[in-house]
Structure 1
Amino acid sequence: MATPTTKSTAAALIHAFIVTGDALGDRADLARFLREQRLVPEGAIPITLADFDEAVALRDGLRAQLDQAAGRPADTEAIARGQRILDGLRVTVRIAPGDAGLSPLAPAVVDEVRRGLARIAGAWAAVLATGEWREIRR
């Protein structure tokens, strides 16, 4: 009998992000997702179309990477677009692990939406470091 495993907080966030599908259809959906996942504080979040496009590109890139790792056909251009989003997000390493939560990486940006995406990037880094990304299913 297999021992059940519990997803880390980082893996749970990545899973929630990649399975959004049609639930991430517009800027209001993105704001709701970021709030529900506690990636941004409560209150108004100004989300531009560019912010929304970046979030979708990141999500699609992560999904394509997981497809590729699972041996399914993958959109390599989506992976490249997602990588460009990750390349543009600024994160910093936390010196004290106490409140690391999702990852020892912390957003190093001021804009709330980009902070939320940087937190997703930190979670992705955490699951890559542990190898847990291979167990995330769409």
Structure 2
Amino acid sequence: MTTPTRHSAAAELIADFVSTGGHLTDRADLARFLRRHHLATEGAIPITLADLDEAIALRDGIRAVLDRDSEPDTEAIARGQKVLDGLRVTVRLEPARDSGGQLAPAVVDEVRRGLARIAGAWAAVLATGEWRGLRV
């Protein structure tokens, strides 16, 4: 009998993000996801269609990396990478006391700050190798 392994908070965030599938189809879906994971405040979040497009591109790019059962979707990976390249994150000097990790958002816009936190979680999952245990 094997002992079940509990994923880190970063891996759980990534797993939930990539499993949104058809549940990330409009701006309200994105707002719900960000609030559920405490990546945005409970108040109104001004989400543009461009924000939604970026979130979907990031999700699809990560999914393409995690989907090892088929040929990598290089276009989805490139679109996701473009989103990551446009996010501003900073490294925390002191150890993080929360589950946010060492990378912190360096942006003011709430949606992009939420995406930057997802990017930080992805960086943590890559750094630990935990991404190999995630399934799409």
Shift of 1:102: 2.9
**Gapped runs of 5+ residues in structure 1?**
none
Deviations 1:57-109 (A, max 9, x none): 00000000111xx2422211000000000000000011111424132100000
Q: Aligned partners of 2:7, 2:100: CA distance in 1, in Å?
A: 12
Correspondence for 1:75 among 64, 73, 76: 73
Alignment-derived partner of residue 29 in structure 1: 29
What's the TM-score once normalised by structure 1's chain length? 0.95
Gaps of 5+ in 2: none
AA of the residue aligned to 1:15 = A
**Given that residues 102 and 126 in structure 1 are in contact (C-alpha distance below 8 angstroms), is that contact kept between their aligned partners in structure 2?**
no
Tell whether the 8 Å contact from 1:18 to 1:62 is kept in structure 2 after alignment. yes
Measured after TM superposition, the shift of residue 3 of structure 1 is: 2.2
User: Whole-Å Cα distance in 2 between the matches of residues 133 and 98 of structure 1?
Assistant: 21
Distance in 2, Cα, partners of 1:96 & 1:112: 23
Q: 5 Å matches for 1:37-116?
A: 37-67=37-67, 70-116=68-114
Q: What is the aligned residue count?
A: 136
Tell me the TM-score normalized by structure 2: 0.96
- 2:127 aligned partner, one-letter code: A
| 1:115 Cα deviation from its structure 2 partner | 0.1
SS at match of 2:44: coil
CA distance in 2, matches of 1:7, 1:124: 13
What CA RMSD, in Å, does the superposition of the two structures yield over aligned residues? Answer: 1.0
**3-state DSSP of counterpart to 2:104:** strand
